[in-house]
Amino acid sequence: MKRRKDPPDYEGDDAMNWAFSIVEKELRAASGLSDEQIAENIKKARTNPVILAFPRAFGLRLRAVREERKMSRPELADTSNVPVRMIVMIERGVGGEAPMGDVFRLCLGLKYDVLKFYREIEQEARRLAEEDEGGLLGA
């Protein structure tokens, strides 16, 4: 199977991962926390209802933006170089953590601002967590 071209302006996964690692190192240094404290905070975050709602929130926002753009899943797959199967899984909230590169590709394919998209996902995750009265997110 021939790999499709990445969307215009996408610098590639290596460039994205490198940039992310630089930011991560700067944030770790600025936090003043030890590696053990950071690991403990990450462990605690995994039980946070807002964090648990992120996959579903990501899927809801992706579908909403895609539909606003009047794009089908195959069209988004063609413009983003993210497989249709992955898009379906993300939209259903069962894709787990999508690779960072795929998030950038999807936003570029949708012609949608990445930071705005992340902010909307966070708002949606907070809304979902507040509505989760039965604690289903933690199940």
pLDDT of residue 64: 97
Q: Which of 106, 67, 108, 56 is nearest to 86 (CA)?
A: 106
The pLDDT value given to residue 1: 42
Confirm if 115 and 104 have CB atoms less than 8 A apart.
no
CATH class held by domain 49-131:
mainly alpha
pTM, whole model, 2 decimals? Answer: 0.77
Average pLDDT over residues 128-132: 88
DSSP secondary structure letter of residue 46: T
Structure confidence by residue, pLDDT tens digits, 57-82: 999 999 999 999 999 999 999 999 99
Confidence of residue 90 (pLDDT cuts 50, 70, 90): very high
The rounded distance, in Å, linking the Cα atoms of 68 and 71 is 8
